[in-house]
Structure 1
């Protein structure tokens, strides 16, 4: 009987692992003490630290290898591994602390997540899906100072803890159904504008099917529903803030199947 229970538990875990990049609750990841202040609806934008982060190298790479639709030319990107490695080293040598503003932290963490995700794909390229790679969200290969964290920790134990749900449309998991990888780096100076743009574009893209009386939303809204529905807000309330189509409060809600195929430009 115990053996059957164990097998059943493993099967359930496998189903959840396959269904979502939210593999484990945030409690299952270690943030290694990195700061994750609660943004609380207002991003603290003043530049509090003495560190001057230059995301120009990442911006240049994105401009060169990411199409407007968010698809990535990974084959060509591999030829610029040296430039990516230099940018990753620059990021990883920085250790955020409490003197950093919300804007500085958000830009740093989002770029860190996206750049290391591209790095992961390039290290395993050619690959059909990020899910074909062992432990993409649980292996601790993201270096921050002397510590190593996982992409899962960066998302669940740091970014999500900042109470800024728009991060879900800024970080990219290298898959077709993911919010697109922006063709520009996030910066502290533009973070509010960039998060608004990413959220509005995603909600009004074909990743969602929206009419006044029914919505078929990305599975992101299912997996992370709690992030979008705080303070009595419903999913429809949240989406209506950005949707070009006004959704009725009683509209039916369903969720789209997620396409984990690689977001590669053909």
Structure 2
């Protein structure tokens, strides 16, 4: 075979190989699904207990809860060990402290149950200069002994400037706002607080707003400074949630507070 013919055949074979060979392509690994933002604190254990032991009216089955404390004690232990960090969002911090207040209030009731009223516990406290259950330092957060007053007045009212906390904190009395049968969470907090406001202001056992005269919860008297800050007023806060409106000239009186236990 002539050299020219051989070269022609070799070139044809090379060209055929180039057109028929399957290239080896290195495919990149698929990207992992995007991760959601980590939850600063998991309140799901408390959520399950509230759903189990609290009805839609906010009344608590303390007797059943007292016999079902393993998960509850673990949740309280986690609260004590995991205080809010500086990098938590405002909503995460508020949800933590609202749940902590309500959970440790339940702890206090269970520790003294059966009891007719949380105020009865005050007479049983034998600590110098401590006369109310809210002042008793009966739990710890990050190793610091704390009271319910510390959470409400020293943290929530002082730090967050949101009077709606008064719709969410529940001191185990019938005149308190409804205890939600779900935990507060950062993702739902604003909607939960708004719902608490509507429920509280439209419950005639707790508030009776009106245009000429209104009978309101003592919350609007006890915490008057909270409702009137930022150029607001009690009437404006009430009208935000109540179906019956009042004005700045409405005569306001306050309902007697029912301290009986919020028990089923």
Mapped to 1, the partners of 2:43 and 2:85 lie a distance apart of 18
Mapped to 1, the partners of 2:119 and 2:61 lie a distance apart of 19
Mapped to 2, the partners of 1:72 and 1:191 lie a distance apart of 22
Kindly indicate whether the alpha-carbon contact (under 8 Å) linking 1:211 and 1:245 is maintained by their aligned counterparts in 2. yes
Which is greater in Rg? 2
1:216 match: 215
1:160-206 CA deviation, whole Å, 9 max, x = no partner? 01111000010100001001110000001111111111111101112
Counting only pairs closer than 5 Å after superposition, residues 134-153 of structure 1 correspond to structure 2 as: 134=122, 135-153=132-150
Counterpart secondary structure, 2:169: coil
1:22 match: none
1:209-265 CA deviation, whole Å, 9 max, x = no partner? 122211100001100010011122221121111111121332110101101111110
2:91 match: 103
Counterpart secondary structure, 1:91: helix
2:237 match: 238
Root-mean-square deviation over aligned CA pairs: 1.3
Counterpart secondary structure, 2:241: coil
Kindly indicate whether the alpha-carbon contact (under 8 Å) linking 2:40 and 2:88 is maintained by their aligned counterparts in 1. no
Deviating beyond 2 angstroms after TM superposition, the runs of 4 or more aligned structure 1 residues are 49-52
Mapped to 2, the partners of 1:123 and 1:249 lie a distance apart of 44
> Aligned-pair distance for 1:82?
1.1
Mapped to 1, the partners of 2:227 and 2:187 lie a distance apart of 25
Unaligned stretches of 5+ in structure 2?
Answer: 1-36, 123-131
Mapped to 2, the partners of 1:103 and 1:183 lie a distance apart of 19
> Does residue 112 of the first structure (1) align with residue 61 of the second (2)?
no
1:5 match: none
> Aligned-pair distance for 1:115?
0.4
Kindly indicate whether the alpha-carbon contact (under 8 Å) linking 2:238 and 2:245 is maintained by their aligned counterparts in 1. no
Kindly indicate whether the alpha-carbon contact (under 8 Å) linking 2:54 and 2:61 is maintained by their aligned counterparts in 1. yes
Counterpart secondary structure, 1:133: helix
Mapped to 1, the partners of 2:164 and 2:50 lie a distance apart of 20
Kindly indicate whether the alpha-carbon contact (under 8 Å) linking 2:213 and 2:251 is maintained by their aligned counterparts in 1. yes
Counterpart secondary structure, 2:67: helix
> Aligned-pair distance for 1:142?
2.6
Aligned counterpart for 2:179 among listed residues 178, 181, 194: 181
Give the TM-score normalised by the residue count of structure 1.
0.79
Give the TM-score normalised by the residue count of structure 2.
0.80
Counting only pairs closer than 5 Å after superposition, residues 200-215 of structure 1 correspond to structure 2 as: 200-206=198-204, 207-215=206-214
Mapped to 2, the partners of 1:244 and 1:165 lie a distance apart of 19
Counting only pairs closer than 5 Å after superposition, residues 25-104 of structure 1 correspond to structure 2 as: 52-104=40-92
Q: Which moved more, 1:95-104 or 1:117-126?
A: 95-104
1:169 match: 167
The structure with higher relative contact order (CA 8 Å, sep 6+) is 1
Unaligned stretches of 5+ in structure 1?
Answer: 1-48
> Aligned-pair distance for 1:51?
6.0
> Aligned-pair distance for 1:50?
6.2
1:78-127 CA deviation, whole Å, 9 max, x = no partner? 11111110110111110222211100000000000000000100010000
Aligned residues: 217
> Aligned-pair distance for 1:143?
1.5
